Structure 1
Amino acid sequence: MIDLRLLREDPDRVRASQRARGENVALVDALLSADERRRSSGVRFDELRSEQRSLGKLIPKATPEERAELLKKAEQLKADVKEAAAAQNDADEETKRLASQLGNLVHPDVPVGGEEDFVVLETHGTIRDFGAEGFEPKDHLELGEALGAIDVERGAKVSGSRFYYLTGVGALLELALVNAAIAQATEAGFTPMLTPALVRPRAMEGTGFLGQAAENVYHLEKDDYYLVGTSEVPLAAYHMDEILDADKLPLRYAGFSPCFRREAGTYGKDTRGIFRVHQFDKVEMFSYVAPEDAENEHKRLLDWEKQWLTGLELPFQVIDVASGDLGASASRKYDCEAWIPTQGKYRELTSASNCDGFQARRLSVRMRDGKKIQPLATLNGTLCAVPRTIVAILENHQLADGSVRVPEVLRPYLGGRELLEPVAK
């Protein structure tokens, strides 16, 4: 959640942020009103409790005649304190409820608009001209089936649409990608983590995934657990309710986990192959930093993503995501989009988000700098979302005979293999 003091001091900035997101601006005034009730009811409660304590000291010293009057007043004060406590609690709950609906403040440099209003910041690599090479590129599914790497038919038979099996070299390619990504992250100073895939409601709520993104979250109602859509969730909650020493920051973790997404609202989109699926594995970078270092850390995460995609020898572009396409917790997000030859366009492979203190406030993760205790900043960045990365590798590195060249960075993790070759049927 945002800093309520900032809300009180500069409500116009918060209104502008809501407007840029395409969200409800009236929520700002409702929250201001609730916050005022919360503070005034707190003052009222404190005044009554102070009066009650003072009265409690007078009663033992009072004469019998005075005591009866004081006891009568004490009884009334007791009822008033109880009523004030209830009013304070109601106002506090209403403030929390409204604050939880408010997205993070959009960074002033973020382009305003919807999904298509992003700004391209950089372009890397060279898009292959398959026509000049004398053949028409195959899509990743055709290639994957010929390689014995992808089986969507049996995935659908067993689990339904948007499920798949990675088989043979497909499974080996995933393991190579994960190991290479973890190796890069470890070399950069990240602590490798294997994280839970099931989390309690507070972890999911605290990271901002039960607001606008709730429709894409799997909920196990019987046990009240959520399946994570990214290891960002358990990594953000790892230090929940803790105070971290400022001199120990930054703390950087690289989480590997299965991820689950309902993909609600995407009917008819990317139905072929494994680009958009319900279950996949991912390596995610996550950073806890001092607030003043958040923007620099955001750029570092992006640099590590660019290093990864460059190592995979993929053509890609970096975009500054528009305000209306930001998740609730992000103040700014950069996406790296790889070129997908058979689609003739760039598609998202990685993203890096600066959440400032938004998640830290909700999860009560703070830092101690001397005597000062305050929320810190959290950031996250995808290093390798496996299926999409496989899609990009197969399509960009395919050869005329249906084999696929293995990028050099992955060869040590595939036993030195330079080519993935079609299997005999």
Structure 2
Amino acid sequence: MIDLALLRDNPEIVRRSQVARGNAASTVDDALEADRSRRAALAAFEELRAEQNVFGKQVAKAPKEEKAALVAQAKDLSERVKLAQQAANDAADAASLALARIENVVIDGVPAGGEADFVELRRVGEVPAFDFEPRDHLELGELLGAIDMERGAKVSGARFYFLRGIGARLEIALMNLALDKALQNDFVPLITPTLVRPEIMQGTGFLGEHADEVYHLDNDDLYLVGTSEVALAGYHKDEIVDLTAGALRYAGWSTCYRREAGSHGKDTRGIIRVHQFNKLEMFVYTNAEDAEAEHLRLVALQEEMLTSLGLAYRVIDVAAGDLGSSAARKYDIEAWVPTQGAFRELTSTSNCTTFQARRLDVRHRPASDEGAAKTQHVATLNGTLATTRWIVALLETHQQADGSVRVPEVLRPYLGGLDVIRPLGWTPASTDAQEA
């Protein structure tokens, strides 16, 4: 939720942000008018209610012969109070709708424009070159007995899959590598719920323009999460957290679900864009002043992971029009996928400033020489540390001519020392056989 003080005192800042995101400037004027109407309706209701309280005391003290007339006046006043209360409620609902169209204010320096208007900050690593025709990740996955899309579709439908054998082991190894990285950097691991209440999903900003990508269980009125960010953001809902010892950092491991609405025909081959996957998500609660530094820290951890896995990647500063409603700035890291000849997103890291915390009412009490300082909303940040999609870049980057795949050294301890994943049926005498 937007900071109302900022909206009222500096509407031009909010207006510029809305325009940069591709939204109409009029959304700000509408929100301001709705806010004024809400406050006026509330003031009118409270004035009438105060009058009613005073009048009620007069009725109680009035002589018996005057009470009948006074009671009639009290009934009339009571009806006016009810109408004023309804008007205040309606104005509050209208203000909530208007304010919901105001997205988080983008941080200065975020590129303007849409999906194609990102700014590339840096490239790291050497794009792999092959002296053979490289196979894509699905062909490799089938050779290795690692990915089974056909049976995934048979069991669950399109864009579902089985990771089997070395494929399952590879994902678990990747997630455990990420978990160790998180533990080394003071993150508390959590295995999070994957079903959440509407107010949690709404609070994180996922029920806006992307609501059609979220699975909803109508009978239970619960949502399946598309990222453990949702549950992690709700973890401290309605709490005053203690930040005196520093930021609260969590690493949430969960299965994630996305309908991928509107993506028909895109990345339908393999496991790039699927309905279910696993992810380890970093989530941080900190004070607003430290949020931008914390954002860069999360990006650095992601880069350490990708570098250790031998992946070539680039870091981009996402344009305002491509940000989610809660993000004030987002950095994506895209790894090189050889058979596509392109960089593809593996991680996103967002600074949501105090936007989510205002909706979920997560606050902290700053240190003060005067004792109990007034509480302030925290800033929240999130970023991916590992997910199923990384297997795509790993298989394609480290493949060899015979269909085998070299295991990055950092992953070998998590795979029992395995250094090469070989096609099924492979023998030393047959380089085009297959085994893992």
Number of the residue aligned with 1:380: 382
Number of the residue aligned with 1:19: 19
Number of the residue aligned with 1:394: 395
Partners of 1:254 and 1:211 in 2: how far apart? 25
Partners of 1:245 and 1:126 in 2: how far apart? 43
Closer/same/farther in 2, CA of residues 165 and 60 from structure 1, 3 Å limit: closer
SS in 2 for 1:116: helix
Number of the residue aligned with 1:302: 299
Residues 116-155 of structure 1 aligned to structure 2 (within 5 Å)? 116-130=116-130, 134-155=131-152
Residues 364-379 of structure 1 aligned to structure 2 (within 5 Å)? 364-369=361-366, 370-379=372-381
Correspondence 1:423 to 2:417: no
Number of the residue aligned with 1:114: 114
Tell me the CA shift for residue 248 of structure 1. 4.9
Correspondence 1:79 to 2:79: yes
RMSD: 1.5
Question: Which residue identity lines up with residue 103 of structure 1 in the other structure?
Answer: E
Q: Which runs of 5+ in 2 are unaligned?
A: 367-371, 426-433
Question: Which residue identity lines up with residue 381 of structure 1 in the other structure?
Answer: G
Number of the residue aligned with 1:338: 335
Tell me the CA shift for residue 66 of structure 1. 5.2
Number of the residue aligned with 1:276: 273
Question: Which residue identity lines up with residue 308 of structure 2 in the other structure?
Answer: G
Partners of 2:25 and 2:214 in 1: how far apart? 26
Number of the residue aligned with 1:174: 171
Q: Is the 8 A contact 1:217 1:226 kept in 2?
A: yes
Residues 2-17 of structure 1 aligned to structure 2 (within 5 Å)? 2-17=2-17
Q: Is the 8 A contact 2:175 2:387 kept in 1?
A: no
Number of the residue aligned with 1:250: 247
Question: Which residue identity lines up with residue 285 of structure 2 in the other structure?
Answer: Y
SS in 1 for 2:349: strand
Partners of 1:297 and 1:93 in 2: how far apart? 35
Deviations 1:279-319 (A, max 9, x none): 11000000011111111111111111111111111110000
Partners of 1:89 and 1:418 in 2: how far apart? 65
Tell me the CA shift for residue 67 of structure 1. 4.5
Partners of 2:155 and 2:72 in 1: how far apart? 73
Deviates more, 1:267-276 or 1:280-289: 267-276
Q: Is the 8 A contact 1:249 1:288 kept in 2?
A: no
Residues 208-357 of structure 1 aligned to structure 2 (within 5 Å)? 208-357=205-354
Deviations 1:296-354 (A, max 9, x none): 11111111111111111111000000111111110110000001111111110001001
Partners of 2:121 and 2:410 in 1: how far apart? 26
Question: Which residue identity lines up with residue 173 of structure 1 in the other structure?
Answer: L
Deviations 1:232-260 (A, max 9, x none): 01111111111213315411110111111
Partners of 1:46 and 1:419 in 2: how far apart? 73
Tell me the CA shift for residue 381 of structure 1. 0.2
Partners of 2:133 and 2:74 in 1: how far apart? 89
SS in 2 for 1:351: strand
SS in 1 for 2:116: coil
Partners of 1:40 and 1:319 in 2: how far apart? 45
Correspondence 1:409 to 2:406: no
Deviates more, 1:141-150 or 1:26-35: 26-35
Partners of 1:367 and 1:97 in 2: how far apart? 27
Partners of 1:157 and 1:42 in 2: how far apart? 57
Question: Which residue identity lines up with residue 231 of structure 1 in the other structure?
Answer: S
Deviations 1:156-198 (A, max 9, x none): 1222211111111101101100111011001100011101111
Correspondence 1:157 to 2:159: no
Question: Which residue identity lines up with residue 385 of structure 1 in the other structure?
Answer: T
Number of the residue aligned with 2:369: none
Partners of 1:312 and 1:205 in 2: how far apart? 36
Question: Which residue identity lines up with residue 421 of structure 2 in the other structure?
Answer: L
Tell me the CA shift for residue 64 of structure 1. 4.8
Q: Is the 8 A contact 1:353 1:380 kept in 2?
A: yes
Partners of 1:412 and 1:201 in 2: how far apart? 41
Give the structure-2-normalised TM-score: 0.93
Partners of 1:62 and 1:216 in 2: how far apart? 63
Partners of 1:62 and 1:91 in 2: how far apart? 36
Question: Which residue identity lines up with residue 237 of structure 2 in the other structure?
Answer: M
Q: Is the 8 A contact 1:286 1:379 kept in 2?
A: yes
Closer/same/farther in 2, CA of residues 259 and 400 from structure 1, 3 Å limit: same
Number of the residue aligned with 1:186: 183
Deviates more, 1:264-273 or 1:74-83: 74-83
SS in 2 for 1:239: coil
